[in-house]
Structure 1
């Protein structure tokens, strides 16, 4: 500290007066207030913020329900288990009313009903569902499209299997998928779309009429399958797609898979189980970018979560291993209607809830830091995030941070460039963004991903401070933000 010399000299020439001890002390205090910043000028919290110290964030329980993950019921209102999605089928002829003409009312009704219950939809269209009336558009049948009648799968001749090589049918499917994508790609009411269309139930097989179970093969040729795949991947660039079986034809495409015989025909060793097909097609790592879902095999939904588990071996090679199947497939969601109707009770219910929570992602923020930004009045917020689940989150929903005042009211919100899809299991990331432009003071910093479906289930973190300040927000901590 250097005092002004001229001022010092003028002070020395003043007549001297005897000063009391109290006056000397008071003068010294006043002098120090002039030259030393006060606590209100440079708060301790701000000094700590600029030091880059990490503030740990305590872990918490897994969220009861996570968007686009966990067990899923058939569409309807159920309260027996938390969930975020609902499943349904639709026949193609519910939408395709003529050559190049479409009526989307039935799909809209389903999507709106599900969204109204705060959920997102996963579904598929079919042409042939054993035991249900045909889904083939009437104009194609009237034009002479060939079909096969069958009694398999308790069909008793109700539905028919179409000639998948008829160019009129293939062209109609391509036109339908193009119109479908143009209208619904990126629709926030939709979680995932299964390609469907081909085979029994839209499951891309016609067993036993497949050349293996019996000499004739009714299923679509490789060329027809390729045209359907190409139509879907061209029409849907935002909404995630799934197809039934991994194979060389879909290996390089932006499509995931659905194992509809989960925990029975899943684990490898038989040669044709789901993981066998992943290995044979070289797609074992595709879960890192494309979702895996499916259906818990119906015959074991009653018993798989009992303690002890007493499920019978319903076919040679059946694994009955739920947790092993989850680990091997990295599944995000499974249709398990038994969990919702009639539902489970007691320990079986507790086991089923834990099993549902084991599917998909589980985000946890482990620490955050606030440091002085490059621009005056701005701060850099950095958050460490880990994924303790078995799969990524496959959409990049917007991630917001916010500053809340002492009353819990948000003063300002910032939308970041952070990517949820980049947080892979076992690979922690650090997210960084700039915050500022608020009156100087202490604020509670918050963070949340934003579900594009306004009524949808919030994406919550497995942290003790989740929902602590505001519902749907993760509380990071209280920090000082400087003046702009």
Structure 2
């Protein structure tokens, strides 16, 4: 910690007297490498499907992303398998630091997979089509029975999880294979965009907003008019197959021939689309696995760098690398991106009186920087405390600052910490943290000085 004490002459007119008030200004040392925080960075995908990768093989993760088929979460009508989702939250909570969770609900997989909506629902007479081998049922998304029970499903899970302080987002799924708003892996079926009108599919966007009104939401970039509608309502967006430079074709790719055009079309339809990141997350999932980028696609370092640069330019908060090993040749690019993805808060400076009195207040004037490319989307409280040499908390308070409004760039803040009338003379430490609802420090700052309980020791003050 670099501490400099200034003497500020505050001219207070007393008979023949001038009072000198010493001020302390600190500029806490910054960290330069990746830091891990809830709701940002690289995703853990379905708990790594049981694989235990080291941090040398896969970066530390800030979000646990899981997707569930309807047949898994409601195998019997009205009996919801909350345990599956609860397990995702438990897994995220055990991680150090604790992660947030992202969720998606799905109704289809592939033609060979078998039906992914429960049998009891099919037996109710839901319209749809079977594959030629009668193995997999694809529901009619505009069927009244299917619509009714879809809303019931989402409502049940929304009642339990909406507003959960560790739910980073709900992914607007339920439409198409894997909830990805397409059925291109069912060649015998009419493509979704030709089979249904935007008005018909809009019902699924509305369902998610109805069931999860408090939770941030994200919508697939391939949603067309429904993407525009969802972001206009306050959703962020996501894209699958990030990093496709020649995964499907040598003459066409998503990075140059699809994503940019979809973004421009959405912006043309609604002028606020490119600012959606200011209100809700932008999230990506890579194409294939990064090991395949090396061994099959033979992507150069320049191509991989372009992939992550593009994600940062879209103000991405998270990227799902699918919990598979990152080749060593690409790891430096990933780690560099981790210094930008999502939010990255740093206390640049703090100033306050060097000396305080019992029963008074300590005014803390701070300058903060968000060095990431996005804000934080869940609520945490910026807090300060005074501790003595024995690490006993003497005074503590939460500011009224809503750090969700801290976009990339600089921000100043001021807080008056009330001091107890019993404050003993002596030296005290000033500490800062961002707390969850339970009062636990959850956000890692890009500063040195972190204590064992997650607070940051940033300055000193003397009481007399």
Cα distance change on mapping 1:215 and 1:353 into 2, 3 Å: closer
Q: Which residue, 371, 375, 393 being the options, matches 1:410?
A: 393
CA contact (8 A) 1:268 1:275 kept: no
Q: Deviations over 1:39-77 (max 9, x none)?
A: xxx9x9xx313xxx6432332224431221111122225
Q: d(CA) in 2 for partners of 1:398 and 1:392? A: 14
Q: CA deviation at 1:119?
A: 2.9
Correspondence list, 1:263-302, <5 A: 263-264=243-244, 267=255, 270=258, 273-282=261-270, 283-298=273-288, 300=290, 302=292
The answer to whether the Cα contact below 8 Å between 1:96 and 1:103 also exists between their aligned partners in 2 is: yes
Superposition pairs for residues 311-326 of structure 1, below 5 Å? 321-326=306-311
Query: What's the counterpart of residue 316 of structure 1?
Result: none
The residue number in structure 2 matching 1:55 is 26
Map 1:48-447 → 2, pairs under 5 A: 48-49=22-23, 54-76=25-47, 77-80=52-55, 81-97=59-75, 100-117=78-95, 118-130=98-110, 131-149=112-130, 159-207=136-184, 220-245=196-221, 247-264=227-244, 267=255, 270=258, 273-282=261-270, 283-298=273-288, 300=290, 302-303=292-293, 309-310=299-300, 321-337=306-322, 340-345=323-328, 347-371=329-353, 377-437=360-420, 438-447=423-432
Q: Deviation string for 1:97-153 (max 9, x for gaps)?
A: 4555534232223332332334332121100012534221222211222333459xx
TM-score, normalised relative to structure 2: 0.79
Residues 83 and 248 of structure 1: is their aligned pair in 2 closer, same or farther, counting only changes over 3 Å?
A: closer
| Cα contact 1:62–1:362 (8 A) shared by 2 | no
More strand by share: 2
| Cα distance in 1, alignment partners of residues 269 and 187 from structure 2 | 20
Aligned-pair distance for 1:413?
A: 2.2
Q: SS of the residue aligned with 2:218?
A: strand
Larger Rg: 1
**TM-score of the two chains, using structure 1 as the length reference:** 0.76
Find the residue that maps to 1:204 and give its secondary structure. Answer: coil
Instruction: Give the aligned length.
Output: 419
Retained in 2: the 8 A contact 1:193–1:242? Answer: yes
User: Which residues of structure 2 form unaligned runs of 5+?
Assistant: 1-16, 245-252
CA distance in 2, matches of 1:143, 1:425: 51
C-alpha RMSD of the superposition: 3.6
Within 1, Cα distance between the matches of 2:430 and 2:29? 15
Partners of 2:343 and 2:372 within 8 A in 1: yes
Flag the 1:157–1:348 CA change in 2: closer, same or farther, 3 A.
farther
Distance 2:185 2:393 in 1: 61
Cα distance in 1 for partners of 2:259, 2:168 equals 31
Gaps of 5+ in 1: 1-36, 314-318
